[in-house]
Amino acid sequence: MMARPRRFLESLVRPWLHREDRVVKEEENLEAIAAKEQKVFKYDTLVAATHNFHPQQKLGEGGFGPVFRGRLEDGREVAVKRLGRGSTQGVKAFTNEAILLSQVHHKNVVNLYGYCARADEKLLVYEYVPNESLDKFLFSPLPGGGRGDDPGAGRNWAELLDWNRRYEVVLGVARGLLYLHEDAHTPIIHRDIKPSNILLDERWSPKIADFGLSRLFPEDLTHVNTRVTGTFGYMAPEYVMHGSLSTKSDVFSFGVLVLELISGRKNSSFILKAEDAQSLPEWAWKLYKKGQSLELMDPVLRSTAVPEQVAMCVHIGLLCTQSDPKLRPDMKRVVVILSKRRSTLEEPIRPGIPGSRYQRRAYGPQSSNYALGESLSGTIDASNSASSDASTSKANSKTTTSTITTNASSQAPHLYHEQHSIQH
């Protein structure tokens, strides 16, 4: 009778006993990667490039530490990500990013130049992307209440992203995801596609960045069950509620990104009481059903937009955010459509979106669906079980508890029944 409780206690204690061994192994992995790929930077080289990591060289603070701008002796400008000390999870994600990017080469994926692994210093060296991230141009607030401004030109940040540039961002991100899903050495699921992880170069070409949460995906599998990590407002319903991860999870995030690019509005903080819409995809769907897709468009795009392209992108965004992953197109089809090759698009149904609120809604006579609705923002790292532990984001921590049941025998699109409690 005592054997079972003893085994249970041992299972709880064992991870802590081997924690230090795991840290050492992860550090050795990073050093091995650097040596194998022959992309090793000397620590002194990066100290000189960043002026000893001077505060004026700091570009920002990532999830796992600060990022500094630097210039190498050969003239290349670089962004140096420095792992914050004392973070076991940080070392793991840091090593994960190094492994994934060591063999990835695509114009729409940020280029990793190399590594530095010396004792407790872990650094990744990337190409410097001058225009910063997409979210700055879409969502940055103006001091006077607008969304953002350009001190040099005296214009709104959003105005710099005319329709042609936004369309090229949509197409570029789609091509980057297609490469990761189908053309990389091993399929890669990013797991955190959102505007802040899309960098824009000097030609406004997008580059997918921040692979700390990404994972390799075995080619012989259609999906895996995993711990839920990502950002509220961009994660697919089946991933949030069941931990079911596939390339269609990235497709869902891409769909949200497309709708944000069109509207200039952020899904994670979206609510429109006048239209009874509590997520951006829901609002887009309501407009689509009325034949008013162009009403979703950011007002600053009126003079540059191509109506047919806008309507097509709204349609694609809605298809990508369908509740049932089987109803979402893969990225190859999305790229084909965006590349102006004729294709018949299916009629989208109501999207299933983790938006700004969880709220129960009845969709049809046989079952009901829950749309996300308590104010949710930031990045989560929760268990894929029905009850999950506290999760930490850059901004805050939340505990998410879910109770979920599904009708596995139904041939209709998956409809999820759930209860969520959010503790701030």
User: Can you tell me the distance from the alpha carbon of 311 to that of 331, in angstroms, rounded to the nearest whole number?
Assistant: 19
The 3-state DSSP class for residue 253 equals helix
* Contact in structure between 178 and 250 (CB atoms under 8 Å): no
Other CB atoms within 10 Å distance of the CB of residue 27: 17
**231 backbone dihedrals φ, ψ, rounded to 5°:** -120, 130
Token look-up 């939340």 returns 398
* C-alpha pair distances (Å), 255 with each of 160, 321, 399: 22, 5, 27
Burial of 290 (0-12, 13-18, 19+ CB in 10 A): exposed
- The catalytically annotated residue of 149, 192, 250, 298 is 192
Which has the closest alpha carbon to 94: 58, 69, 52, 125?
125
Spatial CB neighbours of 276, under 8 Å, sequence gap ≥ 6: none
User: Can you tell me the distance from the alpha carbon of 192 to that of 27, in angstroms, rounded to the nearest whole number?
Assistant: 24
Active site includes 192?
yes
User: Can you tell me the distance from the alpha carbon of 48 to that of 338, in angstroms, rounded to the nearest whole number?
Assistant: 44
Q: How far apart are the first and last CA of the chain?
A: 40
User: Can you tell me the distance from the alpha carbon of 79 to that of 49, in angstroms, rounded to the nearest whole number?
Assistant: 10
* Contact in structure between 279 and 268 (CB atoms under 8 Å): no
Give the length of the chain. Answer: 424
- Report, as residue numbers or ranges, the catalytic residues: 192
